[in-house]
Chains A and B, each alone.
Chain A
Amino acid sequence: MKKLLKTGVFAVVALTAHAVHADEEANLIINEEIEITVRTDAPAHLENLSTIYSGWVFRSNETQALQMDDFENPGMIFADDARDAWNTVEGTKGNSCASCHGEPESMAGVRAVYPKWNEAAGEVRTVAMQVNDCRTEQMGAEELKYDGKGMLNMEALLSSVSRGLPVNVAIDGPAQSMWELGRDVYYTRFGQLDLSCANCHEDNYGNNIRADHLSQGQINGFPVYRLNNAQLNGVQSRFRGCVRDTRAATYAVGSEELIALELYVASRGNGLSVEGPSVRN
């Protein structure tokens, strides 16, 4: 009986795998213009992987196609909304984002190097933290909610102007201690299911966990438009979702642990292109 059951399980796994597997050799060119690096050699600090892959590689052909054309990419609608917000004067100082930065295109390359050490503040900052610092200090405006709609839209815009540029976050110098904390979180087993990030995304990428085709968990495509919930998703909310699925209590969005994890996971993708807003399941 036991043997029979096992055979049955294997058959199911094989079937699902066949149905969802994408073209893993495909290359991504957005708008027939922006070439995206979706696979490349792993950065030197990454001991357990030789090649890193964008999550785009693991998605179905249909999902992959959505990202090849900005007109079809639902995430770009939100980036466009942020363009309006970019030019809107808010707060007590009479400034909009455009007052200091000009066109959003002037921010090309910013997304690629975040999270980043901020010397004046003495902390590692994510793009969201930097946006809020700008809003409170330069504009005299209210902070945007971390991973809230307004913030994700703005992150999508900032990411969209950096598309094609290689992710290159610094992990040494003053950022090193945060990076090491992030690495510890990554390899710590959480929850009743006793899973670390690495168990799925390092040891088992390319395999199926039930109906999900596991990627390497790279975050070069964030913020991500998920077909699952038809909206933009922030990276730290996604981390929370993953940890929750291990049946663990999770860290808060914006907590030191998740900022550290964001820095560490971003560094695992050093060399892949910035892709956000990307489209995933």
Chain B
Amino acid sequence: MAEDVKPRVRVPGKATAGEAITIKTLISHAMESGQRKNGDGNLIPRSIINRFTCAFNGATVIDVTLEPAISTNPYFEFQAIVPETGTFEFTWYDDDGDVYTDTQNITVS
């Protein structure tokens, strides 16, 4: 497992139906591009988060492909319209096969 990987998510606790809410996510990750060389001149193998998804009650909100040029600790901020009370699920896929997840509940009035 990559070191010091920790997902963070901020979703408002409540919203009104049909309201566009702002979601912020950040995962601490080195995002080693695979282009850099170490002190001995050898390539440091690529190790990045290659995909990030967000789903609400099972329906996809966004699905992002990440490339090596994306910097350390990738941060995403996006908006979503929430029709009903439910759960956001966030998933990050690591090159090494690890999957990191986080969930946030939101109450819609």
- Contact pick for A81, options B10, B28, B72, CB 8 Å: B28
Within 8 A of A (CB), among B63-80: 72-73
Residues in chain B near residue A81, CB distance under 8 A: 4, 6, 28
Interface of B is mostly: strand
What separation, in Å, do the CA atoms of A77 and B4 have in the docked complex?
A: 10
- Contact pick for B28, options A71, A72, A77, A230, CB 8 Å: A77
Are the C-beta atoms of B73 and A77 separated by less than 8 Å? yes
CB closest chain-B residue, reference A230: B72
Are the C-beta atoms of B10 and A80 separated by less than 8 Å? no
Residues in chain A near residue B26, CB distance under 8 A: 71, 77
- Contact pick for A80, options B6, B24, B72, CB 8 Å: B6
Assign chain B's interface to a size class.
under 10
What separation, in Å, do the CA atoms of A74 and B6 have in the docked complex?
A: 13
Are the C-beta atoms of A71 and B10 separated by less than 8 Å? yes
Verify if B46 is at the interface (C-beta below 8 Å from A).
Answer: no
Closest CB of chain B to A20's CB: distance in Å?
23
Verify if B36 is at the interface (C-beta below 8 Å from A).
Answer: no
> Which residues of chain B have a CB within 8 Å of any CB of chain A?
4, 6, 8, 10, 24, 26, 28, 72-73
User: 17 pairs across A/B with beta carbons < 8 Å?
Assistant: A71-B8, A71-B10, A71-B24, A71-B26, A72-B24, A74-B73, A77-B6, A77-B26, A77-B28, A77-B73, A80-B6, A80-B8, A80-B28, A81-B4, A81-B6, A81-B28, A230-B72
